[in-house]
Amino acid sequence: MNAPAGNRKAAGFFAGFLVIALLVAGGLSYFASSDPDGLDSVTLSGCDVVETDAGEQLEGACIAQNATDSAAAGSPLADYAIGGVEGTVGLAGVIGVIVTLAVAGGLFWFLRRRSAGD
């Protein structure tokens, strides 16, 4: 039996949305700027980044000197890369889209099933 026209239309919309989201995350992300965003730039104003044997150090007086890594800094998709490997920003974006849509879809499915049972 054929699905109602409304279901086919919704399925087409979501399929198109998924394709566009995957293309943006997987393809356009390679063209994104590698320069710090506005918030990073503001927190670094007043400091100089100096290379040392221990890595990059900040000299001067800026807000960024008080910054610490987030709890997710060691996660597999930290810094928009997979396992810290450079050049995987597109794949990390695709994984992020899939995980986000899976979690959101699962939540909507659960809530819809729950409200249908009431």
Domain total of the chain: 2
The set of residues, in sequence order, having a beta carbon less than 8 Å from that of 39 and lying 6+ positions away, is none
**Do 50 and 87 have their domain in common?**
no
Residues 60, 91 within the same domain = no
Q: What confidence tens digit (pLDDT) does each residue in 47-96 have?
A: 888 898 888 888 888 888 888 888 888 888 887 888 878 888 899 999 99
Look at residue 101 in the predicted model and tell me its pLDDT.
93
pLDDT digits (tens, 9 = 90+) for 16-49: 999 999 999 999 888 877 776 778 888 888 888 8
Does 109 share its domain with 81?
A: yes
The whole-number pLDDT of residue 32 equals: 77
Q: Is the whole model's pTM more than 0.85, yes or no?
A: no
* Interhelix angle 89-117/5-26, nearest 10 degrees: 150
Residue 50 structural domain: 35-67
Structure tokens at 52: 């040392």
Same-domain check for residues 102 and 117: yes
